[in-house]
Each structure stands twice: as C-alpha cells, then as structure tokens.
Structure 1
C-alpha cells in the first residue's frame, strides 16, 4: 500500500479490496486525503476524512440523496463513520479543469454541460439539508474581516461590515424562501476542479458536496462561472449566465442575486485563502487571491451591492484594491 493511514488495511480488507494497489492523489484545502485503488481491471477511490477534523456522514447523506435524484454522484461501496473511511466509485481522471487545459476549444460546450447539470438539480425538490441562513452567510463573510484584514494590518469597522452585508443579502434570503420553488440544493463548491467528465462533455460527475445546504439557485451558478482557481472570461461568463437564464427561467431578480452571492462568496474565499496561509501554512493559496479579488471588485460594481461597496470604499485602502488585495508577508 502507498502511505495509507492506520486502519485502512482492515477497512479495505473488509470491503474486499485488501489486495488493491494504492496511489496517493492530490488533496484539497481540507484534511481529507484520497487514493486511487486498482485491482486488476477494476478501480475505486479511497477517501479518508479523519475525525474529529472531518465527518463523512454529511458527504454520505448528500451522495445518496443526489443519486436518488438521478444525478451523477459516485456510488459508495463501503463506509466507516468512526474511522472516516469511504470507498467510492472511481470517476476516472477526466477532471473538467484538466480537460480544458488541454482542449480549450471545448470550453463553451463543457460549461454548457455543467450548467445543464445545475438546471437538472434545480428542477428537484430541495434536499434534506440545513438552510443557507443569514447566520451562515454572516459567518462566512466575517472570514474576510477576521483573517484578511488583520493580515494586512487593517483596523476596520467590523460591525458596519456585517450591517452592510445584511442589507445587501436580505433580498437573497427573501428570494430563496419564496414559495414558488425558490430554494434548491446548493452544492457550495461547484467548479471546474470538482466536476468530472464521464465520457462526454455533457455528462457531469459531481464531487465535494458534503457541505450541501438549501439555498439560492444563483449560488452554484456563480461558483462555477466566477471560479477562484480558473480564469473564466467575462464573455464566457455572460454567455453561460444567459444560457442558464434561458433554460431555468429563474425570475427577474436572479442577476442581482447572482452579483450579491458572487460578492459574498468571493469575500469569504479571500478570508479562507488568507486563513489557509496564516493558520495552516498553505501559502500556495495566496496566489489565487488576486483572481478572486478582481471578481469581488466586479461584483461590488453592481447596484445591488451598494451598501457593501460603500464599506469597502471607507475601510479598504485604494492601493490594496487596485493591487489584487495587496501583498502578503509572514
């Protein structure tokens, strides 16, 4: 075996994969780790989400719900809550991000396939997940003032920051609670590095949905089209947003909510990437902040973000805003 954690040998033996060869795969920003297992012509993925830092139960619950709805989440072959092991169907190596790096001419078709998967998800009743509440939105945006601002040596109006976001996001909360089907399952991290292409550009394999909530239709659309890890040209973003609007017909306020949630998500990500550097020693995430910052600035230009834009004008120095969030020093 290849550097497997304690308990993996027993788990795999019980699952019938004790003789498999294991190859470690690149991890993500969490404590989770992954291995590809091969056994003759068969393959599977081993995920280890070690307690107490991780909990596999939300992933398992979301996976089974998505599969019940006819969406393409990986089949679960075996699981062990106590040790944090899950044995999963292997979706292969055709990750959307990697595919487009090699075949950029297929970008529009591939993104249309990803939008189609969201349209299908948004036709389903909301799943058995917690609500994307104001408390959760507020917790997320506070990551910006809790981590980014101290890292830049800024003393800011933290209370005014939350007040501004509350004013901006109240319409989002109202619209996602609308009785005419406003609320949908939100995967929360739907982007090109979490989408697998299963033999065709229009067949999407879903990953990284353990944090699913019941929220607004715009959230996963903006997660896809304002990608923290991959450049999506504004022209392609507009084309795909129009494609979603034509297929889903989500309502008159959708574009304003798209901007609001784009800004909320991007402010959160700037905070998270700063935290990954300061707390976890993962400095590579700093290189992604300028892209996210540019997206945040673009969203703040929408009239629906006026309260938040005023806060940024008053609290974040212009030189930082014009320099992708500024530089970072230990």
Structure 2
C-alpha cells in the first residue's frame, strides 16, 4: 500500500520510529517496504480491511480482547530509552480536558459554562490528572481500540495508527479498548477484564496496588479520556468537517454520566461536576439532532 503522507501535516518520522520499536518488541504492525518521510511517501504492507470492530459480539469478545491484551503487552515492552516520546504529563492531560469546554460546550452546544460549571471543571480536572499521574508509566498508544486493531488472515491481531504514542498511565490503553467509543459492554464484563489485567500486571511486578485502586485508576482514566473525546469529536466535526463523529457522541456522553454517577456519592468533585452537567448541559444535549438517549 502506497501512503501519501504529507510531512507538513503528518508525523512521518514518529510513525516510522514507533513502527520500528514496536516491531522489535514483537508487536504485529505494518511491514515497511520503503519510505521517503521528507517527501511524504510510505510503502507499507497492506494488512487487509478486517477491523476488529465488526467481528465483536458477546460470543467473540472475550477471546478477541485476550488477543488484544497480548498485543498490548508486547507494545508495552517498548521502554522510554528506546524512543524519545512525549510524557503524558500534567500539561498534556490538562490540554486534552480543555477541549471539552472550548469545542463541546462552547462551539458545538453553543453554551457558556456558568461560574459553577467552571469551578466544577477545575475540581474534577485536578482529580483526574492526579489519578493519571499516580499510575506507573508505560508505552501508551492513545487510541488502542477496535477501529485501530486489525484481524489478519492468520487470525493474529495487528495495530495501526500509533504515531501519537506517549509514555503515560498504565490503564490508558485498556480503557480505550474496554470502554471503546464505538461499542459498549456491560459493566460486569468490563470489571472482569480489568481485574484480570490487575492480576496479570501484579504477577509481572508492574503494579503494587490493590485491585480497588486499580479499578479507580481505570474508571477515572476513562472519564478523562471520554471528556477529552467529547471535545475532540466536536472539533473533528466543526473544524475538519467529519460529521460521522457526531454519531459517536451519545455513547461517550453515556460513559461520562455513568462514571460520574458511580463516584459522585463518595467524591465531592464528581458530585459537583455531575450536578452541573445534568442541570445545565443535558437539557441542551437532549435538544441536539445527533443525540439518542
């Protein structure tokens, strides 16, 4: 497959460096046949057209996600010394969260957050960023989900679209997979997968926390990601004309509301944000043509 990847808009050097590191770690990625990163030409192996998403069902998901976690484990072997990747630090985490107010609330919903809303955002952002920074850091793909995983003819999974990778929270990529913005699974199934990951990582000495802390890390990381995604999908529609992302907003709104409801009884920052979200934003959201309750 010949990819036309203009260097002024695409991360060609990053893509090639990360591809090499992942391949060396044993992860299945597109083979590179030739490249001129400066001119924006990449000749890559064609991995076919079978994304993981349409193959998922309640009958197949356990095996599929076991395969995906095996692939992710290989990706996470890439150490900081091997790639000069950015850190998923306070600055980046906060910038991502800022997209929510700028692009989702103000630009898409055409709403101005009240003083209570800005206060609630500040309190919740602090909690989510602190939780993310508590976690062990590993290689993070940042979009490790069913539209970036491909089932090959030999039944193996391959990963694509990794040029935005960073080093950051250990739960980030599992959140992307288990609380996918394009498909939803029951909470009981998600918890079973998360507890399995906790046992696996503890056995590998990658973790030293209890399962309750790990689940909280996972849930709060998911909330950070989904709040960011509301802003990012709104931006993709408004700035880039990609209106298909509007269809994915209702599920992301559902994820946000569910996690807020779970933690609001015990965490005042979650309660304040949830109250503001339900009182001020949900009436506006429910009026949107793209919203399906």
> Separation in 2 of the partners of 1:257 and 1:302?
13
> Separation in 2 of the partners of 1:298 and 1:49?
39
| TM-aligned CA distance change 1:219 to 1:174, over 3 Å | same
Structure 2 residue 190 is the aligned partner of structure 1 residue 234: no
Q: Is the 8 A contact 2:175 2:221 kept in 1?
A: yes
Residues 178-202 of structure 1 show CA distances to partners (whole Å, capped at 9, x for unaligned) of xxxx21000000001110123455x
> Separation in 1 of the partners of 2:223 and 2:261?
10
Q: Is the 8 A contact 1:138 1:162 kept in 2?
A: no
Equivalent in the alignment of 2:279:
318
**TM-score, with normalisation over the residues of structure 2?**
0.84
> Separation in 1 of the partners of 2:284 and 2:64?
32
Equivalent in the alignment of 1:186:
140
> Separation in 1 of the partners of 2:267 and 2:239?
30
> Separation in 2 of the partners of 1:209 and 1:80?
18
Unaligned segments of structure 2, at least 5 residues: none
Shift of 1:305: 6.3
Structure 2 residue 210 is the aligned partner of structure 1 residue 210: no
Shift of 1:294: 0.6
| TM-aligned CA distance change 1:169 to 1:306, over 3 Å | farther
> Separation in 1 of the partners of 2:3 and 2:268?
43
Residues 266-286 of structure 1 show CA distances to partners (whole Å, capped at 9, x for unaligned) of 011111111122222222211
Q: Is the 8 A contact 1:115 1:240 kept in 2?
A: no
Number of paired residues?
Answer: 275
Shift of 1:141: 0.7
| TM-aligned CA distance change 1:51 to 1:120, over 3 Å | closer
Q: Is the 8 A contact 2:261 2:274 kept in 1?
A: no
**Does 86-95 or 150-159 show the bigger shift?**
150-159
| TM-aligned CA distance change 1:325 to 1:109, over 3 Å | farther
Q: Is the 8 A contact 2:227 2:256 kept in 1?
A: yes
Q: Is the 8 A contact 1:168 1:308 kept in 2?
A: no
RMSD between aligned residues: 2.4
> Separation in 1 of the partners of 2:62 and 2:287?
32
Residues 89-147 of structure 1 show CA distances to partners (whole Å, capped at 9, x for unaligned) of 122223211323xx653221111111222234335534521100110001101110001
Shift of 1:87: 1.2
Specify which structure has the higher proportion of strand.
1
Work out which structure has the larger RCO, using CA pairs closer than 8 Å and 6 or more positions apart in sequence: 2
Match of 2:150 among 175, 188, 196: 196
Report the 3-state secondary structure (helix = DSSP H, G, I; strand = E; otherwise coil) of the residue aligned with 1:285.
Answer: helix
Equivalent in the alignment of 1:5:
none
**Does 211-220 or 49-58 show the bigger shift?**
49-58
> Separation in 2 of the partners of 1:322 and 1:154?
11
Equivalent residues in 2 for 1:1-330, closer than 5 Å: 45-100=1-56, 105-126=59-80, 127-128=82-83, 129-150=85-106, 151-156=108-113, 157=115, 160=119, 161-175=121-135, 182-199=136-153, 203-249=156-202, 250=207, 251-252=209-210, 253-303=213-263, 306-314=268-276, 316-318=277-279, 320-321=281-282, 326-327=287-288
Report the 3-state secondary structure (helix = DSSP H, G, I; strand = E; otherwise coil) of the residue aligned with 2:47.
Answer: coil
Structure exhibiting the larger radius of gyration computed from Cα positions: 1
Report the 3-state secondary structure (helix = DSSP H, G, I; strand = E; otherwise coil) of the residue aligned with 2:76.
Answer: helix
| TM-aligned CA distance change 1:302 to 1:233, over 3 Å | closer
Shift of 1:159: 5.3
Equivalent in the alignment of 1:179:
none
